[in-house]
Amino acid sequence: MVREVPDKVSTDGLEERFDERWSAEGTYAFDRSATREQVYSIDTPPPTVSGSLHVGHVFSYTHTDTVARFWRMRGKEVFYPMGWDDNGLPTERRVQNYFGVRCDPSLPYVEGFEPPHQGTDGKNVKPADQVPVSRRNFIELCERLTTDDERQFEALWRRLGLSVDWAQNYQTIDATSRAASQRAFLRNLARGEAYQAEAPGLWDVTFQTAVAQAELEAREYPGFYHRVAFHRPDGSPLHIETTRPELIPAVVALIAHPDDERYQDLFGTTVTSPLFGVEVPVLAHPAAAMDKGAGIAMCCTFGDLTDVQWWRELQLATRSVIQRDGRLSRETPAWIADGPGEDLYTQELAGKTAFSARTAVVDALRASGDLDGEPVKTQRMTNFYEKGDKPLEIVTSRQWYIRNGGRDWSERNLKAELLARGKELDFHPDFMRVRYENWVNGLNGDWLISRQRFFGVAVPLWYPLDDAGEVDHDHPIVPSEAELPIDPTSQAPAGYDEAQRGQPGGFVGDADVMDTWATSSLSPLIVSGWERDPDLFDRVYPMDLRPQGQDIIRTWLFSTVVRSHLEKDVLPWKHAAISGWILDPDRKKMSKSKGNVVTPMDLLVEHGADAVRYWAAAARLGTDAAFEVGQMKIGRRLAIKVLNASKFALTFGVDPETGTGEIVLDPARVTVDLDRAMLAGLATVVEQATEAFEAYDHTRALEVTETYFWTFCDDYLELVKDRAYAGAAGAELADETVSARTALALALDVMLRLLAPFLPFATEEVWSWWRTGSVHRAAWPSAEPLRSAAGDADPAQLAGAGHALAALRKIKSEAKVSMRTPVLEATMAVPATLLAGVRGALDDVKGAGRVTGPLELVEATEGQGNTDVQGGIVVTASELGEPPARKPKA
């Protein structure tokens, strides 16, 4: 059974060697003949390939991999795919620069298009020099570029040892994903869950696209409070404070809190705006903050989300001036034309950015005497698109929405249903559920999915044009599911000809794409073969596990629950495992902008995959972890220890002549109490580790296993060393020797399997010395055989014997002599509870402690010894022999 134990062991090169072997042997290949009960399926987060992987990825993906490996060994057929998120802005920008192109959806597709550049050495191509291409061409270029990124990502994951089945690969932009995304949307549409609306929404003026609530980020933004006078009918001033005076032309009401005594007599009256003389009502609404500024606010269409709320709830007029490009409308609005502010608007404001319009308005206010005092500097929270750097504006536009419980719906109470789903889902750790609930409860609108971008999944619709060439949005032309995926900007709908595009009586395609989350929210459906491979679908869906970061609970986790709930009326997975952040040593979140990011590949090359995995696995789910190289070094040490201890334990079974031998893993051969005590302790470890993994507490599983493994190395191995060595080559072995050797092998066999999820490379290396197949397909150990082998042995005996050995070591350490120094005789005081155990293992203790003469055991008296040290065992008298002669230096 022992085939080959190398003379010199090493962790070097294991990653490449076993990655190859695992691929060749299909170790992690999903066997799709398994039934749903036999499968453990994982909805792996698809990393954004245009970004770069960082240690945070390594961290959280390792967590998932330990779980995957556990369940695989547990006998589950693990469905563990990997996806790539290619969608979205980062890829678009890279493609523009790399190939020197820009997307123009109005252009026709060009077959065999070749871009002007192939990489521009990091230099950006000026927008004016970029060659415009159709969306289809643009997407093809995106795909070309991301293919390369994916190769690098895969190499990293393989090096880390993720037990992914690489045959189950997908991209969020591939044809399968596009079809699934469009199909899901069309079904939402058919069921009334998707709708379009002309409504005020968040808008990024830089990227010129709508933005969803989930993509918001509130940031501190500097500004000024301007105290501005409105005018009552009698001409007296009513002051408000605003940070956005340029929106005075868009004012539709002044609003104060209904309980605010200062404004009671004004409610229901009207005032006129400064400069423009527009008459607006003074109204009451509880969202007005009494203690903020003057307590009365200017409501414009639209300055912020509160304005939208007021506008909607108080049914105010719409007077928009900010356009999609972030500038004030070039035409003078009707409500200003012919008024006192017409000239100001046409000459100073039309077409200006919000920023320069503000200056102009403030100058005018100052001139008219409507500015009270000077503007006061302020910092306030302002909404930004998470990828943008200018404050979001709110503009009215026609967009598509998917219902997510954020807005009331007459058909059903979606919000309550989704909250119920949240309760149904097992969050690990459990408190992460609160984030989900907070988010769902705080939603204030449905999910806006239209994006005015290019590299994404197209909204799969066309709209007819009437005879006058006007678009009829109310009657979209819907493709059949069989046609999907489609690109409505380059394909004509059935029954039309491409020549009718944009012609009266013809059609136009919806130019928008869907939010990337609209596709990635379908990842469980996509990987499971929804409507594409019903056989696979039934075997893996709904899935078992969604691992992900805590930052995207509101986006990815929530939106996935929404889609699955709407489409399948089921939770997409049973468990959600949420990983924490990686913090740098200063307790700051690691991020690229801070320049403290370490390249994962360098880390793996330097320390070894097992070492890096150890560091990651030592952190619990949901808990932030420090980036600690020290922890990786400990992991490396553990991996090396596994190799060395295994080599040692297995060598006993190897014939020194032939270099081969046999170890029989027969528990019946373990007859010595100490050996059985060790197995008894191990049985408990197996139980604890199993329980921990089942509860998604991989850290505890590692901890109990690791601790016992070190006890095994430091104490047990030393204690049985002499006994295991005994017996001349070829001679009949004594039962005690067989017992030790068998126990060593049994323990090793179990511990390798317990450690395999954490240290897949080192454990596989050892496994290859003496077992067949992969340790990663070996059965997860169970406690029962160990227990029956242990019989009535007391696991405390190993601890007791270990403490006795340590007490002997201590006298040598204090005498500053080598551990090889013989003890001629000694008396040892042992607490009553340990006495029988130590006595039972006396020969092993004496052997390991090099006690050559009598070792007398006496029961420790009250107060003797400290149970914290050597379990209270104290050597009360001893005589040391001569230290062995130092070996001459070689």
Contact segment (CB under 7 A) with RNA among 38-46, 514-522, 712-720, 837-845 equals 712-720
Applying CB under 7 A, among 41, 96, 130, 213 the residue interacting with RNA is 213
Residues from 156 through 175 that contact RNA (CB under 7 A)? none
- Using the CB atoms, write b or e for 529-549: b if 16+ within 10 Å: bbeeeeebbebbbbbbbbbbb
620 binds RNA (CB under 7 A): yes
* Measured CA distances, 591 to 588, 604, 616 (Å): 9, 19, 17
**532 versus 647: smaller Cβ distance to RNA:** 647
| Binder of RNA out of 535, 657, 868, 882 (CB under 7 A) | 868
- Minimum CB distance to RNA smaller for 151 or for 588: 588
Q: Is 713 in the site for RNA (CB under 7 A)?
A: yes
C-alpha 653/C-alpha 673 separation (Å) is: 21
For helices 735-755 and 717-725, angle between their N-to-C axes, nearest 10 degrees: 140
**Which of the residues 629 through 688 are near RNA (CB under 7 A)?**
630-631, 634, 636-637, 640-641, 644-645, 647-648, 651
Q: Which of residues 535-554 bind RNA (CB under 7 A)?
A: 550-551, 554
Opening angle at CA 162, ends 35 and 639, nearest 5: 120
Tell the smallest beta-carbon distance from residue 180 to RNA (Å). Answer: 27
Q: Are 381 and 391 in contact (CB under 8 A)?
A: no
Residue 889 CB contacts under 8 Å (≥ 6 apart), including other chains: none
Q: Which of 232, 324, 810, 839 binds RNA (CB under 7 A)?
A: 810
- Main-chain dihedrals φ then ψ at residue 102, nearest 5 degrees: -145, 150
Cα 811 to Cα 872, 875, 880: the distances in Å are: 14, 8, 9
CA–CA distance, 738 with 418 (Å, rounded to integer):
61
Question: DSSP assignment of 359-412, as one string?
Answer: HHHHHHHHHHT-B-S--EEEEEEEEEETT-SSBPEEEEEEEEEE--SSS--SS-
> Phi/psi at 746 (nearest 5 deg)?
-60, -45
Write down the least CB distance from residue 829 to RNA, Å: 15
Is position 434 an interface residue for RNA (rule: CB under 7 A)? Answer: yes
Residue closer to RNA, measured from CB, 423 or 820: 820
Instruction: Pick between residue 413 and residue 444 the one whose CB is nearest to RNA.
Output: 444
Any contact of residue 219 with RNA (CB under 7 A)?
no
Residue 377 or 889 with smaller CB distance to RNA: 889
Residue 195: CB minimum distance to RNA, A: 22
Segment interacting with RNA (CB under 7 A) among 63-71, 210-218, 474-482, 778-786: 210-218
Nearest approach, Cβ of 819 to RNA (angstroms)? 4
Q: Which of 110, 337, 819, 877 binds RNA (CB under 7 A)?
A: 819
Site membership for RNA, residue 729 (CB under 7 A)? no
Nearer to RNA, 471 or 817 (CB): 817
Q: What's the distance, Cα to Cα, between the start and end of the chain in Å?
A: 35
703 touches RNA by CB under 7 A: yes
Beta carbon of residue 6, minimum distance to RNA (angstroms, whole number): 10
- As a whole number of angstroms, the distance between CA 347 and CA 368 comes to 17
Closer residue to RNA (CB): 207 or 581: 581
Task: Count residues near RNA (CB under 7 A).
Answer: 70
727 vs 737: CA distance, rounded Å: 8
CB of 888 to RNA, least distance (A): 9
Applying CB under 7 A, among 144, 239, 568, 809 the residue interacting with RNA is 809
Burial, 291: exposed, middle or buried (Cβ in 10 Å; 0-12, 13-18, 19+)? exposed
The footprint of RNA on residues 70-129 (CB under 7 A) is: none
Residue 434 Cβ vs RNA, minimum distance, rounded to whole Å: 4
**Least distance to RNA from the beta carbon of 435, Å?**
6
Cross-strand pairs, 878: 826
Is residue 589 a contact point for RNA (CB under 7 A)? yes
Residue list 438-467, contact with RNA (CB under 7 A) = 438-439, 442, 444
Among 21, 262, 423, 820, the residue binding RNA under the rule CB under 7 A is 820
**What is the Cα–Cα distance from 189 to 196, expressed in whole angstroms?**
9
State which residue, 338 or 862, has the beta carbon closest to RNA: 862
Please identify, among the stretches 14-22, 188-196, 707-715, 781-789, the one whose residues bind RNA according to the rule CB under 7 A. 707-715
Number of other CB atoms surrounding residue 55 within 10 Å: 20
Cα→Cα distances 304→242, 362, 383, 394, 636, Å: 12, 20, 9, 7, 54
* Segment lying near RNA (by CB under 7 A), choices 52-60, 427-435, 659-667, 838-846: 427-435
Smallest separation (angstroms) from RNA to the CB of 385 = 13
Q: What is the DSSP letter of 130?
A: S
Asked if residues 850 and 822 have their Cβ atoms less than 8 Å apart, the reply is yes
User: Does the protein bind RNA through residue 593 (CB under 7 A)?
Assistant: no
Q: Which is nearer to RNA, 660 or 818 (CB)?
A: 818
- If one asks whether residue 377 binds RNA (CB under 7 A), the answer comes out as no
Stretch that binds RNA, among 57-65, 86-94, 521-529, 623-631 (CB under 7 A): 623-631
379 binds RNA (CB under 7 A): no
Stretch that binds RNA, among 9-17, 153-161, 193-201, 751-759 (CB under 7 A): 9-17
Which of 186, 617 has the CB closer to RNA? 617
DSSP state of 206: T
DSSP string, 596-652: -PPPHHHHHHHH-HHHHHHHHHTSPTT--EE--HHHHHHHHHHHHHHHHHHHHHHHT
Helix axes 796-814, 717-725, angle to 10 degrees: 90
Considering only residues 21 to 80 of the shown chain, the ones binding RNA according to CB under 7 A are none
**Helices vs strands, H then E, count in the chain:** 26, 29
Using CB under 7 A as the binding rule, the residues of this chain from 748 to 807 that contact RNA are 806
Cβ at position 90, least distance to RNA in Å? 19
Closer CB to RNA, residue 365 or residue 638?
A: 638
Q: Measure the CA–CA gap between 671 and 791, rounded to whole angstroms.
A: 10
Smaller CB separation from RNA, 9 or 365: 9
Least gap, CB of 718 to RNA (angstroms): 6
Query: Stretches 21-29, 66-74, 667-675, 705-713: which one binds RNA (CB under 7 A)?
Result: 705-713
State the burial class of residue 148 (Cβ atoms within 10 Å of its Cβ: 0-12, 13-18, 19+): exposed
Beta-sheet pairing, 462-464 with 507-509:
antiparallel
Around Cβ 230, how many Cβ atoms within 10 Å?
A: 23
Whose Cβ is closer to RNA: residue 231's or residue 809's? 809
Alpha-carbon distance of 155 to 283, in angstroms, equals: 62
Closest CB 509 distance from RNA, rounded Å: 33
Nearest approach, Cβ of 512 to RNA (angstroms)? 24
Pair 518, 449: CB distance under 8 Å:
yes
Among 165, 544, 718, 794, binds RNA (CB under 7 A): 718
Are 279 and 251 spatial neighbours (Cβ–Cβ below 8 Å)? no
Is residue 827 a contact residue for RNA (CB under 7 A)? no
Query: Alpha carbon 324 to chain centroid distance?
Result: 34
Q: Are 860 and 800 in contact (CB under 8 A)?
A: no
Binding site for RNA (CB under 7 A): 9-11, 213, 216-218, 381, 431, 434-435, 438-439, 442, 444, 550-551, 554, 581, 585, 587-589, 619-620, 623-626, 628, 630-631, 634, 636-637, 640-641, 644-645, 647-648, 651, 700, 703, 707, 710, 713-714, 717-718, 721, 806, 809-810, 812-814, 816-820, 867-870, 884, 886-887, 889
